[in-house]
Amino acid sequence: MRQLITINHELHEKWRQVLFRTCIYIGVIIFVAEFFIFVFNKHDQPFSPVIIRYLIFYLALPTFLNLIFIVGAYFILKSEKTSEKAKNYTVALLFFLICACVQCFHYTFPAILCVPCIAVFITVIFLDINLTRLIFGLSYGSLILAFLIARFEADRAVEVIFLDCVVAGIMIFCAYLVATVLTRYTSEQAQSIHDSYLKQMELIQEAKTEPLTGLLNRRAMVDVLGQAVYQDAESRKPLIMAVIDLDDFKKVNDTYGHRKGDEVLITLADILKRNTPGNENVFRYGGEEFVVLFSGYPIGTVVGLLDQMHQEFSTHDFNFAAGERITFSCGIAEYTDSGWSTSEFFEKADQALYLAKSEGKNQNRIYEKRLEA
């Protein structure tokens, strides 16, 4: 789940950067377009107050505003204090402000009045219906502002301007409706993908879990052990493996039955989990054999923990075996920087386990080089 959230944040960050760069490109394109329109329309006219006014209101001022919007958004997005949601809103508002700037300064072209539709559609990326509603409301605000500016300028009849704004308002509303539908559809699709991911993770976890004891199984142990062993020597923590085997477990099964044997296995598994720092490192290897991995602990601490497990398990009162002690033996191996493979590492602990069994059971034995002799 945490991994999924991280991926989602990374995806939003990626598309925020894409949208921010797009805003910069749009700002540059608008400036170039405004400049060429000026050259095309005014190139044969003498320099006059009309030209100066045109340059200020249709070239310099919108470019200056776009630059302020972009720089302001840049610092907001780069700030560590800005939340994930605020960053999403910042990018969407930046897109809207650039569209609104075009709308208010270039209202002469009726199609320009519909430009905020783009900003409304952009909000679909963030799957936030409140953000879509905000940009929709602001789009109507900028449309009213464009109408007032056009009326003040009086370049065209008020009735014509009003009709253009009505048409633009209808288009913006339609864009809002479509964006809302797309947001809901995409949200449901994302939720479906999320649910499928969680289900897949559950199946993977089930495949690595031993059903009787709830411990991770041999397959999971191989994966975890491989990751631990094949780390770089500099970053690898001290790693110790304890291979545990129940003493005379066949006798328990033969005398009391397999259901009672299962009870013994479950009890031992519970004791191992409760006494192991980070119970994700406890595995049922198979049958009556268990494996515990200790990462980052000195050998003395590990032996002390295992002695505690011995004490708790051997004194546990099984109601079907009154007065009898059920015990386990343990072989311990410490991974040194010797280039052992995972199978070789296990074999060292298993050799120590064999020694513990042959020397009387119910004890720990630590692997030493002499055991290979």
- Quote the pLDDT of residue 4: 45
Residue indicated by tokens 């515990």: 292
Residue indicated by tokens 């999320």: 194
Name the residue type at position 369.
K
pLDDT tens sequence across 74-107:
999 999 899 989 999 999 999 999 999 999 988 8
- Quote the pLDDT of residue 139: 96
- Which of the two residues, 373 and 200, has the higher pLDDT score? 200
State the Cα torsion 88-89-95-97 to the nearest 10°: -160
Classify residue 99 by burial, with Cβ atoms within 10 Å: 0-12, 13-18, 19+: buried
- Quote the pLDDT of residue 269: 94
- Quote the pLDDT of residue 15: 86
- Quote the pLDDT of residue 55: 80
What average pLDDT does range 231-251 have in this prediction?
Answer: 83
Nearest to 103 by CA among 30, 199, 19: 30
Structure letter (DSSP) for residue 321: S
Nearest to 19 by CA among 139, 100, 99: 99
CA distance 208 to 223: 10
Q: Is the pLDDT of residue 118 over 90?
A: yes
In the residue annotation, 288 being an active-site residue is answered as: yes
Least confident among 50-54, 55-59, 63-67, 174-178? 50-54
Three-state SS string across 129-154, please? HHHHHHHHHHHHHHHHHHHHHHHHHC
- Quote the pLDDT of residue 12: 79
- Quote the pLDDT of residue 37: 77
- Quote the pLDDT of residue 351: 94
Name the residue type at position 147.
F
CA distance 319 to 129: 61
CB atoms within 10 A of CB 140: 16
In Å, what is the CA distance from 317 to each residue of 191, 251, 289, 314? Answer: 49, 17, 21, 8
**Beta carbons of 275 and 355 less than 8 angstroms apart:** no
Q: By percentage, how much of the chain surpasses pLDDT 70?
A: 91
Residues 6+ apart with CB under 8 A from 181: none
Average pLDDT, the chain: 87
Q: Is the pLDDT of residue 364 over 80?
A: yes
Here the tokens at position 135 are 């940009």
Nearest to 124 by CA among 72, 79, 83, 88: 88
Q: Which residues pair with 246 in a beta bridge?
A: 328
Q: Is the pLDDT of residue 7 over 70?
A: no
**Beta carbons of 365 and 330 less than 8 angstroms apart:** yes
- The one catalytic residue among 288, 312, 334, 368: 288
- Quote the pLDDT of residue 233: 59
CA distance 104 to 14: 31
What the chain holds in terms of domains, given with CATH numbers, is 2-201 (no CATH), 218-372 (3.30.70.270)
